[in-house]
Amino acid sequence: MLSSSQLTDLATEARARTLELIADLEDEQLLGPRLKIVNPLLWEIGHVAWFQERWVLRHDGRTPPVRADGDTLWDSAAVPHEIRWDLPLPSRQGTLEFMAEVADRVVVRIGSEAPTRALTYFCLLTVFHEDMHTEAITYTRQTHGYPAPCLGVPNADTRDGGGPLAGDGVIPGGTYQLGGTHDLGFIFDNEKWAHAVEVAPFALARAPVTNTEFAAFVRDRGYQRRALWSDEGWCWREGADAEHPVYWRYEGGDRWCRRHFDRWVPLEPHHPVIHVNWHEAEAYCRWAGRRLPTEAEWELAASAEPTSDGRHIVARKRRYPWGDDPPTAERANMDWRAMGCLPVNALPDGDSAFGVRQMIGNVWEWTATEFGPYPGFAPDPYKEYSAPWFTGHKVLRGGCWTTRARLIRNSWRNFYQPHRRDVWVGFRTCALRAV
């Protein structure tokens, strides 16, 4: 059980990061253009404070709301996305005052009693919820072409161009316990609970697909070849008129640039391709004679350990690819440290037991799996977190460079619709044949 001071520190730090991410933006930028894929940032920052108030202060039904209109403004389950620009939102100053008032009351609530199991749960729920929104705020800045945020975090050295990381990790099959286990502490409902699945032996790329590798697909007219695309993927490609990843620009010859926030930079050859959707990843796999891993394969490669002869897996699951110790800068690119991706051969200290690298951090990874409930699924108190999204979404794994290290683990499941390419997502591939 965490102490009152630990819970206070977590909540305070999460709120400080939210405010830091929008501090340099003008009022007009906080509203931003009306898009289907992102929220107006003015609404989003009010929402994270409302969510904290709803679950930390009001979950027991005894405390009145800070604002009488809060539920009608910021309840994401009740307020349709398309009208969030039209709501009578408080001004920037009014929103910041609401956020400060909620934060102050939360600190008082945490300090007024020894943390109960319920209070601890709801404090952590709201911290992790805010962590997810700070990642969303970061990709919203990318979507709109705003400048990269200026954050008070230690920066990784990204001057080294790095290199490729070829080859596959060969993973033995067997019975594997997919999902979260009771010893992990706080986990989300869609991770519950670990259950036995059978996985055949397979070979998984040691690194995600790089910009150089994906550029070869583009150069070989991968976006024009109907046979490489599913019906749904081809329909998306035609509707989007897509010829290459969304933030790429052709410079002539073999030269490409990509937009990184508000700047165009030369395409880094050994960085993972990023901002590609599931359809693009699937088409690339067909072109390359590969496939996307299932989420069971992905989690097994990240968390299982082999027997001494390498022919079987052992029952113990690692919390992270490298073991059970928390992420560090030497193991994973997270927490905005690099303000972008690192080369795929970086961070060998983060390898899994099978030599697969960067399975945590750097770039989210699409899997072949449709997002759905595990056996015996039951929603947690925040019922809207998982259950409404069990149709039409694909599972992503691993986190990215903006993901909070305290949020992620091998069993953590993300989920997006397959057409989304605004998020910080790439992919790695599997060999077609079992090994």
The full DSSP string for 23-84 is TT--HHHHH----SSS--HHHHHHHHHHHHIIIIISTTS-S--SSTTHHHHH-TTTS-GGGT
Contacts by 17-22 with C-beta closer than 8 Å and gap 24+?
17/130, 17/134, 17/151, 18/45, 18/48, 18/99, 18/130, 18/133, 18/134, 18/137, 19/45, 19/96, 19/99, 20/149, 20/151, 20/152, 21/134, 21/137, 21/138, 21/141, 21/149, 21/151, 22/137
Q: Which CATH class is domain 154-435?
A: alpha beta
**Cβ-count burial of 91 within 10 angstroms (0-12 exposed, 13-18 middle, 19+ buried)?**
exposed
Evaluate whether 418 touches 277 at the Cβ level (below 8 Å).
yes
Model pLDDT, residue 183: 93
What confidence tier does 127 reach under pLDDT thresholds 50, 70, 90? very high
Angle between helices 117-144 and 41-52 (to 10 degrees): 180
Render pLDDT for 236-289 as a digit per residue (tens, 0 to 9): 999 999 999 999 999 999 899 999 999 999 999 999 999 999 999 999 999 999
Note the residue count of the chain.
435
Tell me which DSSP letter residue 146 carries: P
Task: Find out whether 126 and 55 touch, Cβ atoms under 8 Å.
Answer: yes
Local confidence band at 435 (pLDDT 50, 70, 90 cut-offs): low
pLDDT digits (tens, 9 = 90+) for 19-74: 999 999 999 999 999 998 999 999 999 999 999 999 999 998 889 999 999 999 99
Lowest mean pLDDT among 26-30, 115-119, 425-429: 115-119
Distant-in-sequence, close-in-space partners of 203: CB < 8 Å, separation ≥ 6: 168, 169, 170, 171, 430, 431, 435
DSSP for 266-296, written as a single string: EPPTTSBP-S--HHHHHHHHHHHTEEPPPHH
Q: State how far the alpha carbon of 281 is from the alpha carbons of 23, 217, 273, 377, in Å.
A: 35, 11, 10, 29
Q: Using one digit for the tens of pLDDT, what is the confidence trace for 342-384? A: 999 999 999 999 999 999 999 999 999 999 999 999 999 999 9
Kindly indicate whether the domain formed by 4-144 is annotated with CATH number 1.20.120.450: yes
Alpha carbon distance 206, 317 (integer Å) = 19
Q: Report pLDDT for 114.
A: 85
Q: Report the pLDDT value the prediction gives residue 311, as an integer from 0 to 100.
A: 84
CA Rg, the chain, in Å? 22
Sign of the four-CA dihedral 380, 383, 385, 389: positive
The pLDDT, as a whole number, for residue 152 is 85
Q: Which percentage of the chain shows pLDDT scores above 90? A: 91
The answer to which of 38-42, 122-126, 154-158 has the lowest mean pLDDT is: 154-158
| pLDDT bucket at 156, cuts 50 / 70 / 90 | low
- pLDDT-derived band at 160 (thresholds 50, 70, 90) equals low
3-state secondary structure of 233: helix
pLDDT band at 79 (very low <50, low <70, confident <90, very high): very high
Query: What tens digit of pLDDT does each residue of 291-336 get?
Result: 999 999 999 999 999 998 888 898 789 999 999 999 999 999 999 9
Q: Determine the average pLDDT of the residues in 397-421.
A: 98
Q: What is the DSSP string of 83-129?
A: GTTTS----HHHHHHHHHHHHHHHHHHHHTSPPPHHHHHHHHHHHHH
Q: What is the mean pLDDT of residues 107-119?
A: 92
Domain ranges of the chain: 4-144, 154-435
The stretches of 191-318 forming alpha helices (DSSP H) are 211-219, 231-240, 278-288, 295-303
pLDDT for 153:
80
Residues 6+ apart with CB under 8 A from 128: 186, 404, 406, 407
* Cβ atoms of 328 and 356 closer than 8 Å: no
Pairwise CA distance, residues 333 & 358, whole Å = 8
pLDDT, residue 62, reads 82
First to last CA, the chain: 44
Q: What is the pLDDT of residue 284?
A: 99
DSSP three-state, residue 264? strand
Mean per-residue pLDDT, 109-119? 91
The reported pTM is 0.97
Asked if 432 and 341 count as a contact pair (C-beta separation under 8 A), the reply is: no
| Locus of tokens 């008070």 | 152
The arithmetic mean of pLDDT across residues 179-194, rounded, is 96
Q: By percentage, how much of the chain surpasses pLDDT 70?
A: 98
Residue where the block lists tokens 């010829």? 243
Mean of all residue pLDDT scores within the chain: 96
Residue 214 has pLDDT above 90, yes or no: yes
Main-chain phi, psi angles of 218, to 5 degrees: -65, -45
191 contacts 412 by C-beta, under 8 angstroms: yes
